[in-house]
Structures are given as structure tokens and as C-alpha cells.
Amino acid sequence: MYLAVVTVTGPQGTSTTEIALPISAGECGEAPGTTPPTYMGISAASVKGKFFFSPVKMDAVTFKGTIELPAGLDLSKAQTLFVSLGNVLDTANLNTKGQASAGQKNRLKKVAVKYPKLKKPATLTNAGQKATVSFTLSAIRLDTLGFGAEGVSSPATTLFPIVQAALVLGGTAYRADIPSSWKLSKKGDSGQLTGKN
């Protein structure tokens, strides 16, 4: 998972933003040992978060979405989930139940991938099977870590930010842009984010 900084120059000046780039195993020249899914988007994706713009209070954003798994993924083995939400990165090492208590950077919390039920003794996924991914992203100043580039800021630069979500699981890269709404408190010292695609 990488972040690309994009600079746009025009008659009204120059602006920059960030774009999350999830890279699949195939794009790296690796043989993932699976067959890619027909759809690599994230469906029914939703976000809900609270931001405090504080050096001591933790911001938190919850995410939930559905992905189509690659065929041939061995669910009896631990997997690694790479995440970018609002340009904030972390990686979770999932157990065989698809769970992790925290990410490597301690930003991801309560990570759960609800895998499809396979008929025993099968351990490999079939084409078209789906999984639901959910987690909480929590850290101090998530706006400065990445969400600010999406428009989560005080004062507000937009009331309707588009939140980027990107995942890599089983060597497959997934992306979604989530239309959202951003509402500041009257004092401008906190705000709430909600969105779904």
C-alpha cells in the first residue's frame, strides 16, 4: 500500500492531494497462487467517525465493506490485510479466523474479516465468494495523518468529502471512493464524518 502525492497547477494556482495506491501481487510480478476476482471494488462500504483536532484526544473512524475474494485463497492460513482509509495506512496480521486486535502501527483496532463458510474439508475459496471487512481506525489527529487531504478539516473546506478506501488481501487490491458528509461542531473543535457508497 502506497500514497502518491499529486500536484495540480492551473490558472488559479497550485494544489496537492494524496491518492492511495493498493498494489496487487500480480502487479509486483509475483505469482499469488489464486485467481483474481471479477470485481475489485469494495461494495456496501461505509464510514463513520469523530474528529477532535486535539493533541491528546483520539479520533476514531469505523469502516465496513464487502469484497469478492480471489478463488483459491487458503482460509486455513493466516493472512495479512493492508489498509488505507482517508490516506491513513496500517497493516493487520489476521489469524485463521480473520481477526486481529490491532495493526502494526497501532492505528487499526478490532479488525475482522468475515470469511464465507466452506464445506469441510475444503479450505480454498471458490470464484465469486465474498467477505465482509470491518475495523476501527484510531489515532491522534487523523486529519493531519491523511483525512485532511480528503476535506476533513477545521475550518471546513468541503461539506461533502470523498473518502478513499483501499485494501489488499490475498494478493488482491481493492478500492472504493466513499461519498461522505462532514459536519463541524459550532465551536469548530470537533466534527463528525459519515458516508457510504
Q: What is the pLDDT along the chain (197 residues), one digit of tens a residue?
A: 888 888 889 898 888 888 889 998 888 888 778 999 999 999 999 999 999 999 999 999 999 999 999 999 999 999 999 999 999 999 999 999 999 999 999 999 999 999 999 999 999 999 999 999 999 999 999 999 999 999 999 999 899 999 999 999 999 999 999 999 999 999 999 999 999 99
Q: Which domain holds residue 153?
A: 2-196
DSSP conformation class of 144: H
Q: How many domains does the chain have?
A: 1
Give pTM, 2 decimals. 0.92
